[in-house]
Structure 1
Amino acid sequence: MTRPQPGAFYVALGSSFAAGLGLGPRAPNSPIVSQRSQNGYPQQLARLLKVPSFTDMTSSGATLRQVLKGGQFHLGPQVDALGPDTRLVTLTAGGNDVKYIGDLVALAYRNRGGVIGFLVKRFWKGPKPIDERGFPALRNDFDATLAEIARRSPKAQVVVATYPTVLPVDAGCPRLGLTGDQANMMRPVSDALAETTRAAAGAAGAMLVDMATLSVGHDVCSAVPWVNGPYPDKRAGTAFHPTLVGARATADAIRERLRAHEGQWFVEAFTSQR
């Protein structure tokens, strides 16, 4: 795998919620450790927009610090793909920094029992309180990452997308794999992650596509979930990660936001490249 040349028209940054973990074939020439699929929302968005050039740097398991500084399995900084000619950047990250999805998975497997459940119960102490999850550090890393994006790609429209809703607003369902108390314990983590992301995007002047709000009614327990439960079919994606429909919903939301609210940028950016 060669290091990407910086400056593609569209550069995608982020973690597994952007990489499309489990959503089909691995993206050509991508690192195996990144588990970057051809159907993550950036890949779908690039096809929808028909961008003239595209570099997908998303990587499953990445933290915001690794987006900015590198160090994930010896991978370099994701921001190294940015350049002065980049006109569109998307970013979805932060869940790994505060152990959000990992804790949902661990709780579900502990509840399920079996060998994995026994090991989780034996070696995992359980979810940390919300004030021990490092949200101030997450905000600092968001600010630093968005500042570096602006420095490297001053002409780019930066789009920050929050994680879609995983947990129902109240109660739960067998498909969720969590008790009511466990879901109640994890909702504040989800809320704080979304609010931290919104605040950082606003402070940086980035465009926010708030999937945490847009996906309400499409949680794991809904009739049309945009996110899997803990035990999805192997062809449907990964535990507590977007479904193919959910990834497409994020791509559609970003496309419509660009067209509706940044129409002049949309026209000028594409005209300059074609």
Structure 2
Amino acid sequence: MPGPHPSAGTRSRSLARAAAARIRVRARARTAPRRGRLALCAAAATLAVAAVPVTAAQATAAAAATPSGLDYVAMGSSFAAGPGIPPTQSGSGASACARSANNYSSIVARETGANLTDASCSGATTANLLTVSQAGQPPQVNAVTSATRTVTITIGGNDVNYLGSLDAYTCQSGGGTNCAGVDRGAIDQTFGVLAGRLENVVNAVHSASPQAHVYLVNYFTILPDSGACTDVPLTADQLAYERSIASRLADATATAASVAGATLVDLAAASHGHDACSADPWVETGRPPAGRSQYHPNEAGMRNAANLVESALVSAGQLRTAAVHSGIAGKCVDINNSGTADGTAVQLYGCNGTAAQKWTYTPTAGGALRALGKCLDVSGGGTADYTKVQLWSCNGSGAQRWVPGPGSSLVNPQSGRCLDDPNSSTADRTQLQIFDCNSTAAQQWTFVS
């Protein structure tokens, strides 16, 4: 198992090692096959640039200057923060806001290599996103900068007391004491202005970062279409009213997305059939296990929410999936035997269009390279020449970051080294590695969709 991934730094080398590296580069220059630039179809996604000789220092500098992952800000209430889902994030405000390291934004960030700033906070309203501090944290929109390119928002439920009313009715009908009341008049009145509040949030994000793509992620479906269950002890009238809140909340979010120019991520529809009474729930019941939050998302819910957000990123062009072709003609970056176990070799293999050769990546920004649900990883977080690469569970570490570099290379910024085909091998199943950047065909990688 890879241990902690160390930061890249300046390393001294022995004369013998340096000489061996120079000999190897010269050998490559003699033996690497000549290859003209392929004329790719218009749909092909490519990171190719003109191949020119570069030194390792130049490649490191280029990698440092290239964005390493999308700048991503997550905003919202508890349905974005993930209270009760272990473990809690580290960092400012995470504990006070009950932010889980396994909420949907954290999963997306790990799997795409995005640079996440999670500003979500349990109990937040639209006012907490725009102007009002909460739990010692500034308004959430303050996290958005001109560099931000992706923003996910789940908000509005607390404006209309969605979870508060569900909790109150569960207490009342479940035999609780000192139960809160529900002011239906106030809730209904707020719905008249909710879409406008949500539009204001989107507009504020666009004002802070005109180039940001905003995704409005609506709320999980909590209640079944009809009836209830033992652990959702609501009366027929209470159920009908709570379903109306859910429906109106989804409508307000859809309206705001359309008017303000955001992308709607329809989690309410996707989670239909995964309510608190279902056999495969994505939310907790009204009587959850100790430490869990009543009617809030569970791990399965956050996992599926992340899938939905990633699909939206693909549709918006912020993520793409393509084969990674080598400068060695006819060869692609491949996962050995389509294996999904941690440590499976990532290798050179004849291009065949299988899922083992379809890599999801972030165009121009760099980040993770993901296939078969896992990420391209430098073994053990190594930074030395000849360190092999492998498939590993996505973890957001420096060992899993790759950026486009000079000469169609893929640079791992942590090491300053390039993804490399050892000795310009043409043999199938040659395990790939990192090596000093040298612009040979063995380090040319083109994304072709």
TM-score by length of 1: 0.88
Task: Give the CA deviation at 1:49.
Answer: 1.4
Post-superposition CA distance 1:152-207 (Å, at most 9, x none): 11111111100010011112221212122211121111100110011001111111
Q: Is the 8 A contact 1:99 1:133 kept in 2?
A: no
Residues 233, 30 of structure 1: alpha-carbon distance in 2 compared, 3 angstrom cutoff: farther
Q: Is the 8 A contact 1:218 1:226 kept in 2?
A: yes
Stretches of 4+ moved more than 6 A in 1? none
Residues 107, 92 of structure 1: alpha-carbon distance in 2 compared, 3 angstrom cutoff: same
Q: Determine the structure 1 residue equivalent to 2:306.
A: 251
Residues 18, 147 of structure 1: alpha-carbon distance in 2 compared, 3 angstrom cutoff: same
Specify which of 62, 70, 73 is matched with residue 11 of structure 1.
73
Q: Determine the structure 1 residue equivalent to 2:4.
A: none
Within 5 Å, which residues of 2 pair with 1:113-262? Answer: 113=175, 117-120=176-179, 124-129=180-185, 132-234=188-290, 237-259=292-314, 261-262=315-316
Within 2, Cα distance between the matches of 1:256 and 1:60?
25
Q: Is the 8 A contact 2:156 2:249 kept in 1?
A: yes
Within 2, Cα distance between the matches of 1:22 and 1:30?
18
Within 5 Å, which residues of 2 pair with 1:32-181? Answer: 32-51=95-114, 53-113=115-175, 117-120=176-179, 124-129=180-185, 132-181=188-237
Within 2, Cα distance between the matches of 1:255 and 1:269?
11
Give, as a single letter, the amino acid of the residue that structure 2 aligns with 1:227.
V
Give, as a single letter, the amino acid of the residue that structure 1 aligns with 2:365.
S
Task: Give the CA deviation at 1:112.
Answer: 2.2
**Bigger strand share:** 2
Give, as a single letter, the amino acid of the residue that structure 1 aligns with 2:233.
G
Post-superposition CA distance 1:104-147 (Å, at most 9, x none): 0111112222xxx2211xxx333414763401332222111110
Q: Determine the structure 2 residue equivalent to 1:4.
A: none
Q: What's the secondary structure of 1:253's corresponding residue?
A: helix
Task: Give the CA deviation at 1:269.
Answer: 5.8
Q: What's the secondary structure of 1:224's corresponding residue?
A: coil
Q: Is the 8 A contact 2:168 2:181 kept in 1?
A: no
Q: Is the 8 A contact 1:143 1:204 kept in 2?
A: yes
Q: Determine the structure 1 residue equivalent to 2:382.
A: none
Q: What's the secondary structure of 2:308's corresponding residue?
A: helix
Q: Determine the structure 1 residue equivalent to 2:38.
A: none
- Tell me how many residue pairs correspond in the alignment: 258
Task: Kindly name which structure, 1 or 2, has the bigger radius of gyration based on alpha carbons.
Answer: 2
Q: Is the 8 A contact 2:160 2:187 kept in 1?
A: no
Q: Is the 8 A contact 2:276 2:285 kept in 1?
A: yes
Residues 27, 131 of structure 1: alpha-carbon distance in 2 compared, 3 angstrom cutoff: closer
Residues 86, 269 of structure 1: alpha-carbon distance in 2 compared, 3 angstrom cutoff: farther
Q: What's the secondary structure of 2:220's corresponding residue?
A: coil
Give, as a single letter, the amino acid of the residue that structure 2 aligns with 1:240.
Y
Within 2, Cα distance between the matches of 1:137 and 1:225?
31
Task: Give the CA deviation at 1:270.
Answer: 4.0
CA RMSD of aligned residues (A): 1.9
TM-score by length of 2: 0.55
Runs of 5+ unmatched residues, structure 2: 1-69, 321-360, 367-402, 404-449
**Bigger helix share:** 1
Give, as a single letter, the amino acid of the residue that structure 1 aligns with 2:288.
P
